[in-house]
Amino acid sequence: MYVAVKGGEQAIDNAHRLLAKKRRGDTDRPALEVAQIRQQLPLAVARVMSEGSLYDEELAALAIKQAAGDLMEAIFLLRAYRTTLPRFAASVPLDTGRMQLSRRISATFKDLPGGQLLGPTFDYTHRLLDFALLAEGEPADAPPESNAPASLEPCPRVLEMLGREGLMTPERDEGAPVPDMTREPLEFPASRAQRLQALARGDEGFLLALGYSTQRGYGRNHPFAGEIRIGVVEVWLETPELDFAVPLGDIEVTECEMINQFVGHTPDQAQFTRGYGLAFGYAERKAMGMALVDRALRAEEYGEEVQGPAQQEEFVLMHCDNVEAGGFVSHLKLPHYVDFQAELELIRKLRQPAQTEQAEPAPLEENRA
């Protein structure tokens, strides 16, 4: 008698043990400390916090360790943890104009109030493997004698300066309650607040590719990197119990404001438009990709023809989340033998008349979940 495959419980337990072993690697080597990950892989931590929608460096580092370095898995871990947290309040909007800058660049003005501050960046490194690091040594260069200490003075934003001249389309705060896409499902068309939330959680690679596609002509919008700033901002909270706002703490964020092609009903009303990106931590690529896609998604608002995928709201917002995408793609690994059996029965039935009539069967429709 045939005995169907059993022992799912045992198989799962074994898989967990094997995974733990794989994650730990050679036990002759010391185990990674969460603090080491937090300190020495800060860009991975930043990505996990951004796409995990939770600002907690320690937990993000823990997630990276637990996920054996699989950042999407780490993002998923952090999201699943976040979901269990109570939601107390929405903070006062971040004032990035008061950011304590560690990096600030503008591609649109050679010099400007507040100056250009290169800060820590890969931009001008030559991508040559550093074999000193392989030898576990410290880098050859000594750390700089303080890179122009971050100014505590507010540094005006480039787009604000253009705005004062009337050259930027103004952004209005409708004063409406802030939607929370983790509690209310997206409805289409979505508001810009909802779009920006979805993009902030969106996959960096997906946003990068979509942003790139707009540069290659699938919905061009002539971007200039008006300003990118990275630094620390304070988070403030207004509570009903108090008449004033209280500071909760500092977070590091990356903000990108793109200056895009102008619009206007008449030439004398022409104004630049803007794309906006914001991410937790040091996350420049993410913020730039987000800003490009944000601007692309404003096509309808500005009466532009929708030509590229990056401009299609439903397409972008329904596919930018890597926890959703990763889950649904990976579920193909789950058994589908009932559905496949149904298809087998069908294809055999379809082929019966075809064989007698010597006709080639046409390809079947694409498989569904």
- Choose which of 217, 303, 338, 360 interacts with other proteins (CB under 8 A): 338
List CB contacts of 152: < 8 A, sequence separation 6 or more.
Answer: 100
Residues numbered 316 to 335 that lie near other proteins (CB under 8 A) are 318, 323-324, 326-331, 334-335
Q: Which is nearer to other proteins, 266 or 356 (CB)?
A: 356
Kindly write out the interface string for residues 225-244 of this chain, putting x where it contacts other proteins by CB under 8 A and - elsewhere: ---------------x----
Kindly write out the interface string for residues 11-50 of this chain, putting x where it contacts other proteins by CB under 8 A and - elsewhere: xx--------------------------------------
CA 223 to chain CA centroid, Å, is: 19
Residue with tokens 């793109």: 258
Q: What does the alpha-carbon distance between residue 225 and residue 123 come to, in Å, rounded to a whole number?
A: 14
Q: Sort residue 130 into left (φ over 0), alpha (ψ -120 to 50) or beta.
A: beta
Contact predicate 273/261, CB 8 Å: yes
Radius of gyration of the chain (CA): 25
Q: What does the alpha-carbon distance between residue 61 and residue 297 come to, in Å, rounded to a whole number?
A: 33
Using DSSP, state whether 56 is helix, strand or coil.
coil
Task: Taking the CA atoms of 323, 215, 225 and 143 in sequence, report the sign of the dihedral they define.
Answer: positive
Q: What is the layout of strands, in order, in the sheet containing 245-263?
A: 100-105, 224-238, 245-263, 271-280
- Choose which of 193, 272, 314, 356 interacts with other proteins (CB under 8 A): 314
Peptide bond into 154 cis (omega under 30): no
Segment contacting other proteins (CB under 8 A): 41-49, 105-113, 148-156, 361-369?
361-369
Q: Which is nearer to other proteins, 2 or 122 (CB)?
A: 2
Per DSSP, which regions of 7-135 are E strands? 100-105
Q: Which is nearer to other proteins, 134 or 369 (CB)?
A: 369
- Choose which of 1, 128, 134, 152 interacts with other proteins (CB under 8 A): 1
- Choose which of 88, 124, 131, 244 interacts with other proteins (CB under 8 A): 88
Q: What does the alpha-carbon distance between residue 69 and residue 335 come to, in Å, rounded to a whole number?
A: 27
265 binding other proteins? (CB under 8 A): no
Q: Which is nearer to other proteins, 41 or 74 (CB)?
A: 74
Count of residues touching other proteins (by CB under 8 A):
63
303 binding other proteins? (CB under 8 A): no
Site residues (CB under 8 A) for other proteins?
1-2, 4-9, 11-12, 76, 79-80, 82-84, 86, 88-90, 177, 180, 182-189, 240, 314-315, 318, 323-324, 326-331, 334-339, 341-346, 349-350, 353, 361-362, 364-365, 368-369
